[in-house]
Amino acid sequence: MRPRHGDSVTAVSGTGVGLREVLRVRGFRLLLGARLAGQTGDGLLQASLATFVLFSPERQPTAARVAVAFAVLLLPYSLVGPFVGVLLDRWRRRDVLVYANLLRGALVVGLAAVVATGHDDALLAVWVLVVLGVNRFILAALSAGLPHVVVDRYLVTGNALAPTAGTIASVVGGVAGVAIRGLAGGNDHGSVVVLGVAVLVYLVASTVASRLDRPQLGPDDSTVRETVRGVAVGMVEGLRHLAERRPAARAIGLVMVHRVVFGIVIAITVLQVRGALHPADPDAAVYALTLATGAAGLGAFLGAVATPRTSRRLGAVRWSALALVVGVGIGSVGLAVASLPGLLFEGLFVGFAGQAVKVCSDTIVQEDVDDDRRGRVFALYDVAVNVAIVTGLTAAAFAAPPDGDAPFAAAWMVVLAVLGAWWALTAERRDPAARYASDPAAVSTADDLKRGSH
């Protein structure tokens, strides 16, 4: 199902990015609003958990603690994601956004009760697994629903704006969470207050999503019920479909390369701010990490601004490879020096590279994958990204000393980026992503022909 007349971006002449046209679409604005509210809540949630688990005075982080904490934050969806993706291709995605936001709000109430009792053990881990499992479900639904409110030509712009704005909202939520925790007196009580604010924000996200029409986000052929066997079969079909769409599979692979690098950055940054920069002052460590996160968010914003027009000139894969090598190469210099300016420098450039790669890759996947399989493919995509991050941070956390002084980590980041870019460019020459041509006129012609066929 293509976007409805009057609620989609129509083709315009020229090579403009189409930002104003995208923002005029009511469906896109509502989808963006739901994303912004939800990811602001995610930032609040993550700030609360980070300060509770890693930055409390009585909880000194070790390499193992850092690895386990982030594994709990990132891996839950890897267990259920492929199955959830199949359901996203059968349930109304608008309903998923409405009810899943309500569900995670209710779950965060329970999480606040766990934090209030001081548990930082298996009980906390299990509860976070459930909460963030729902969260990943929502992010996949947002990505799968986007092509229903933005036509193909403007998917680059939609992918530049929506996920980037969501990333910034998450950073803002994280910064706000740190501030709210401080105003509430800090310690575990402050973390509970931050979680309470997150619940309210999730309710706002559900309310905004409820204003979308039920069929507006697809899928085109929706069935409400599905057996467990059917879900398993659908998951396998999604994997087969992705194997047949090699440009989409490569796009996901390139994002994975960056996310391994990003995992290294996360681990080294946490160890440096807590073990080298502020070993006796957890509050100062929190603020240093917040600044580093803000720098990464600014880099992501700049990457999103630069990507639509530059990718049209260079081609999505070439621009992704260039941004990956340059961004990670420059950012690695900052990571090699255990200082706050170095961490800000590193966050800015690695964040830029990550968003440039992600915007292009998301668009290639959305263009290359059939709508009735898009939900499960994005669910698998999310699994791959999370596994890549955890792989990088676990390797770095266990290999680096407690103070995070690990110049070898910076060297490995550059090696990974160069190898990933070389692989993507070589494969692209053999088997190009045809829909994503460097010439905007070619894309326009393809879209016009496709519209004419209907």
Cα 418 from Cα 413, distance rounded (Å): 9
**φ, ψ for residue 296, nearest 5 deg:** -65, -40
Q: Tokens for 3?
A: 């976007």
Cα 300 from Cα 163, distance rounded (Å): 10
pLDDT tens digits for range 288-312:
888 888 899 899 989 988 998 898 8
Q: Tokens for 77?
A: 């969806």
Q: Is the pTM of this model over 0.95?
A: no
pLDDT tens digits for range 179-211:
898 898 877 888 899 999 999 999 999 999 999
The candidate with the shortest Cα–Cα distance to 45, out of 192, 247, 262, is: 192
How far CA 424 is from CA of 110, 258, 272, in Å, comes to 44, 12, 32
Question: Which amino acid is residue 290, in one-letter code?
Answer: T
Question: Which amino acid is residue 262, in one-letter code?
Answer: F
How far CA 87 is from CA of 120, 226, 384, in Å, comes to 32, 8, 18
The candidate with the shortest Cα–Cα distance to 380, out of 118, 5, 161, 89, is: 89
Is pLDDT larger for residue 399 or for residue 230? 399
- pLDDT band, residue 388 (cuts 50/70/90): very high
Map tokens 């602001």 to a residue. Answer: 40
> Which of the residue ranges 8-22, 228-242, 301-315, 424-438 would you say has the lowest mean pLDDT?
8-22
CATH class assigned to 24-214+238-432 = mainly alpha
Sign of CA dihedral 158, 161, 164, 166: negative
How far CA 207 is from CA of 35, 173, 183, 212, 403, in Å, comes to 12, 19, 28, 10, 44
- pLDDT band, residue 228 (cuts 50/70/90): low
> Which of the residue ranges 22-36, 59-73, 103-117 would you say has the lowest mean pLDDT?
59-73
pLDDT value for 39: 94
pLDDT tens digits for range 81-118:
666 666 777 788 899 999 999 999 999 999 999 888 87
Length of the chain: 454
Q: What is the mean pLDDT of the chain?
A: 80
Burial class (CB in 10 A: 0-12, 13-18, 19+), 243: exposed
Average pLDDT estimate for 433-452 = 38
